[in-house]
Amino acid sequence: MLAAATTVAFAQYPDRPITITVGFAPGGTSDVAARILAERLTNSLKVPVVVENKPGAGGSIAAAATVAATPDGYRIMLSDPGAFAINPIMLPQNARYDPLNDFTPIALVGQSPLVLVVPASKPFATIEALNAHLRANAATASYASSGPAGITQFGAEVYLKRAGGLTALHVPYRGGAPMMEALMKGETDFGVAVLASAVPQISAGTVRALALAAPSATPVVAKVPLLETLGVKGAVMTSWVIMIGPRGMPAEIVARLNAAINAAIAEPDVRERLLKAGIETYQPADPAGTGAYLKQEVERYRGFQSELGDRLTK
- Topology agreement, domain 2-111+240-307 and domain 113-237: yes
Is the pLDDT assigned to residue 110 strictly greater than 70?
Answer: yes
Taking only the tens place, the pLDDT of each residue in 5-64 is: 445 556 789 999 999 999 887 877 888 899 999 999 999 999 999 999 998 887 889 999
Give the pLDDT band of residue 260 (cuts 50, 70, 90): very high
Give the pLDDT band of residue 274 (cuts 50, 70, 90): very high
CA dihedral 18→84→62→273, nearest 10 degrees, is: -50
Distances (CA, A) of 270 to 37, 88, 196, 233, 279: 8, 31, 15, 32, 11
Into which CATH architecture does domain 113-237 fall?
A: 3-Layer(aba) Sandwich (3.40)
Is the pLDDT assigned to residue 231 strictly greater than 80?
Answer: yes
CATH code of domain 2-111+240-307: 3.40.190.150
Res 10: pLDDT: 64
Strands 75-79 and 238-246: antiparallel
Taking only the tens place, the pLDDT of each residue in 83-104 is: 898 888 877 888 889 999 999 9
Using DSSP's 3-state secondary structure scheme, residue 130 falls into: helix
* pTM (two decimals): 0.85
Res 313: pLDDT: 66
Each domain of the chain, given as residue ranges in start order, spans: 2-111+240-307, 113-237
Burial 184-210 (b: 16+ CB within 10 A, else e): beeebbbbbbbbbbbbebbeeebbbbb
Res 4: pLDDT: 41
